[in-house]
């Protein structure tokens, strides 16, 4: 069990309803030092852990029933769905328009060419991607409706990548990759007589890489949860297609531990009851909001 005892004072976060912030008496996963008396605390010994301030207090300094957060949490920044993709689209579109103006001028002819000229596929793909992220993000926001948090478009320190959505709810922590693809989504077994090799196909193309490339995102989230004592809480992964077609009577399926799913089915799973208590949902959302920062909102949508 990741916590033996919990005391839950209420702390107001901006204009929102009060959120529960928890200091827990637990068996420590790592060596630490008491924030009050500087006494060393060995791993597996009992201590009070503040999951927001990420500090420990020994049992002599902190008696049961008197726990208070060591630091007030910062407001949760939920971010903007599709922010990074939209910004990249705007940058590429501006460059494309500038090239047209260089060739045709800024007058009537240049404006006409910009209206009729097709965008490069490499540019329009970012606009479609941003639209897909907004669709998925909005569906999950509506499904949780105050019973959890959805963090959109998160930066991962030390990488150039981002996580489209992280949902934190009673059902667990969800890492979600949104894709606006067209064509039929299928699960195919490419193994032989005595071997199973499940693959993801979209529009008759092998897209299994989409599920197999989510490992680094999972590690980025787990790296934040493990020090909080939440290593045993569930982390789910999903690739969600917003514009694809599905075979009749198909249900969402799992390949390599990743759900392949559509928005309404994903929202239902995220909002389902689960093992994560409300105080842990709050603590995880605060931690991930602070450590995996949101990409800035785009100037236009």
- pLDDT, one tens digit per residue, over 59-96 is 888 766 555 554 556 788 999 998 888 888 888 887 87
CA distance 276 to 168: 9
Three-state DSSP class for residue 40: strand
pTM over 0.75: no
Residues of the chain with pLDDT under 70: 1-22, 52, 63-73, 110, 113-114, 116, 299-301
pLDDT (0 to 100) of residue 162 = 92
pLDDT (0 to 100) of residue 64 = 62
Q: In sequence order, what are the residues at sequence separation of 6 or more whose Cβ sits closer than 8 angstroms to the Cβ of residue 230? A: 2, 280, 283, 284
**DSSP code for 23:** E
Q: In sequence order, what are the residues at sequence separation of 6 or more whose Cβ sits closer than 8 angstroms to the Cβ of residue 276? A: 168, 169, 170, 171, 172, 173, 233, 234, 284
Q: In sequence order, what are the residues at sequence separation of 6 or more whose Cβ sits closer than 8 angstroms to the Cβ of residue 46? A: 4, 25, 26, 27, 28, 59
């Amino acid at each position: 069990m990741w916590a033996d005892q919990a005391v839950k004072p209420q702390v107001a976060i901006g204009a929102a309803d009060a959120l529960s912030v928890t200091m827990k008496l637990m068996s420590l996963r790592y060596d630490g030092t008491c924030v009050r008396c500087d006494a060393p605390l060995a791993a597996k010994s009992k201590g009070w852990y503040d999951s927001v301030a990420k500090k420990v207090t020994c049992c002599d300094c902190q008696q049961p029933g008197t726990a208070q957060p060591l630091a007030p949490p910062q407001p949760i920044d939920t971010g903007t769905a599709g922010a990074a993709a939209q910004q990249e689209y705007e940058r590429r579109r501006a460059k494309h328009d500038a090239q047209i103006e260089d060739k045709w001028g800024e007058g009537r002819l240049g404006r006409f060419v910009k209206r009729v000229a097709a965008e490069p596929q490499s540019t329009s793909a970012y606009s479609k991607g941003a639209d897909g992220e907004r669709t998925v993000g909005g569906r999950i926001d509506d499904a949780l409706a105050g019973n959890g948090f959805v963090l959109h478009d998160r930066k991962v320190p030390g990488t150039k990548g981002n996580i489209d959505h992280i949902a934190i709810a009673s059902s667990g922590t969800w890492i979600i990759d949104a894709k606006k693809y067209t064509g039929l989504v299928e699960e195919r077994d490419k193994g032989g007589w005595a071997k199973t090799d499940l693959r993801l196909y979209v529009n008759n193309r092998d897209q299994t890489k989409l599920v197999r490339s989510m490992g680094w995102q999972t590690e980025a989230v787990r790296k934040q949860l493990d020090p909080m004592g939440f290593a045993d809480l569930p982390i789910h992964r999903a690739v969600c297609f917003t514009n694809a077609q599905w075979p009749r009577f198909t249900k969402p399926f799992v390949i390599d531990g990743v759900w392949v799913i559509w928005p309404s089915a994903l929202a239902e799973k995220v909002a389902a009851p689960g093992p994560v208590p409300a105080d842990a949902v709050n603590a995880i959302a605060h931690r991930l909001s602070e450590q995996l920062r949101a990409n800035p909102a785009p100037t236009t949508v």
